Amino acid sequence: MLHTVCYNITLDRDNRKGAAVLNLTRCVIAVALLAILVATQPAFAAISIVAAENFYGDVAQQLAGPNTTVSSILSNPDQDPHMFEVSPSIARSISTATIVVYNGADYDPWMVKLLSAARSANRKVIIVADLVHRRAGDNPHIWYDPATMPAYAKALTAALMERDLPHKPDYELRLQNFLASLRPQELKIAELRTKFAGTDVTATEPVFGYMAAALGFKMHNERFQAAIMNNTEPGASDVVSFERDLKDRRVQILLYNSQATGAAAQRMVRIAQQAKIPVIGVTETQPSGTTFQGWMMGQLNAIDQALSNRS
């Protein structure tokens, strides 16, 4: 627009003085408009994503462009996310973010409070649980559901393209690459399901629940797991059934969440070890130095090995 209007001034100047003045005015207005546009759209060059959990941050890093900064709030695999408390620096990072991602389904209720305390008209918020129709009361560890990351990746890519339209093809390509990178995991799940569907397993916390269901496992002791997750004491009869499962070897593996290490959970690990039931460590925060894909594959391979080498 700027180019056309200013170019017309030179054409008109020879013909009619009035038209030249009119076009000069238009030119000034166009320059002013352009200046306002540039001033009000810095988000184009600097998209900042804040993810409440580091696996959503990792996937964001894989999907976003070079002009994007990504930071994650929960990133310590030695901490229990269900006990997390917010610091002022976290509140500040959220108030300036372009795109905010959090799990939802009551896993990270502190995010809801942070967002309402730092309102922003231009911020896009992605609640991953909403994308896969999970809500408070459901098992909140939804990133272990194989359907979740593809849904999140698509929603995030749409949000990125909306803010940076000129790079749409780049975002589309990165999305396709990401979805393709999940293929080995999908094949592994199908393979394990064929080999081990119907296997009885148990866990100290429901962190691996959706993946266990995808593998066709029969999960024992879910009430005990919910109590550990909510940092409450498991019921006496739930403790008894859990111990019996282990001592009588009614389950083939114990999935142990190393981020929820209360006495009740640790006791089950000891009993499992005495009964020679493989204990497989799973975490709910992505360990540093891994990718989401590598993290998931590592856990699936550990399960494959434990079940294949059963005595």
Query: Looking at beta carbons, which residue is closest to Zn ion?
Result: 284
CB-nearer residue toward Zn ion: 57 or 140: 140
DSSP codes of every residue in the chain: -HHHHHHHHHHHHTT-HHHHHHHHHHHHHHHHHHHHHHHH-GGGT-EEEEEEEHHHHHHHHHHS-TTEEEEEEE--TTS-GGG----HHHHHHHHT-SEEEE--TTS-HHHHHHHHHS--TT-EEEEHHHHTT--BTB-S-GGGSTTHHHHHHHHHHHHHHHH-GGGHHHHHHHHHHHHHHTHHHHHHHHHHHHHHTT-EEEESSGGGHHHHHHTT-EEE-HHHHHHHHTT-PPPHHHHHHHHHHHHTT--SEEEEETT---HHHHHHHHHHHHTT--EEEE-SSPPTT--HHHHHHHHHHHHHHHHHT--
CB-nearer residue toward Zn ion: 53 or 245: 53
Long-range contacts of 272-278 (CB under 8 A, 24+ apart): 272/246, 275/246, 275/247, 275/249, 276/311, 277/246, 277/249, 277/251, 277/252, 277/253, 278/252, 278/253, 278/254, 278/306, 278/310
Binding status of residue 108 toward Zn ion by CB under 5 A = no
In the complex, the smallest distance separating the C-beta of residue 79 from Zn ion, rounded to whole angstroms, is 11
In the complex, the smallest distance separating the C-beta of residue 113 from Zn ion, rounded to whole angstroms, is 19
In the complex, the smallest distance separating the C-beta of residue 63 from Zn ion, rounded to whole angstroms, is 25
In the complex, the smallest distance separating the C-beta of residue 139 from Zn ion, rounded to whole angstroms, is 9
In the complex, the smallest distance separating the C-beta of residue 284 from Zn ion, rounded to whole angstroms, is 5
In the complex, the smallest distance separating the C-beta of residue 44 from Zn ion, rounded to whole angstroms, is 37
CB-nearer residue toward Zn ion: 58 or 205: 205
CB-nearer residue toward Zn ion: 62 or 285: 285
Q: How many residues bind Zn ion (CB under 5 A)?
A: 2
Q: Which of residues 205-224 bind Zn ion (CB under 5 A)?
A: 207
The Cα 177–Cα 157 span in angstroms is 12
CB-nearer residue toward Zn ion: 48 or 204: 204
Among 204, 284, 293, 295, binds Zn ion (CB under 5 A): 284
CB-nearer residue toward Zn ion: 100 or 207: 207
Stretch of residues binding Zn ion (CB under 5 A), selected from 17-25, 63-71, 184-192, 283-291: 283-291
CB-nearer residue toward Zn ion: 47 or 149: 149
In the complex, the smallest distance separating the C-beta of residue 222 from Zn ion, rounded to whole angstroms, is 13
Q: Which of residues 167-196 bind Zn ion (CB under 5 A)?
A: none
Q: Which of residues 112-151 bind Zn ion (CB under 5 A)?
A: none
Stretch of residues binding Zn ion (CB under 5 A), selected from 26-34, 131-139, 190-198, 203-211: 203-211
Q: Which of residues 242-281 bind Zn ion (CB under 5 A)?
A: none
CB-nearer residue toward Zn ion: 64 or 203: 203
Stretch of residues binding Zn ion (CB under 5 A), selected from 45-53, 128-136, 161-169, 282-290: 282-290
Q: What is the largest CA-CA distance in the chain?
A: 101
What residue ranges bind Zn ion (CB under 5 A)?
A: 207, 284
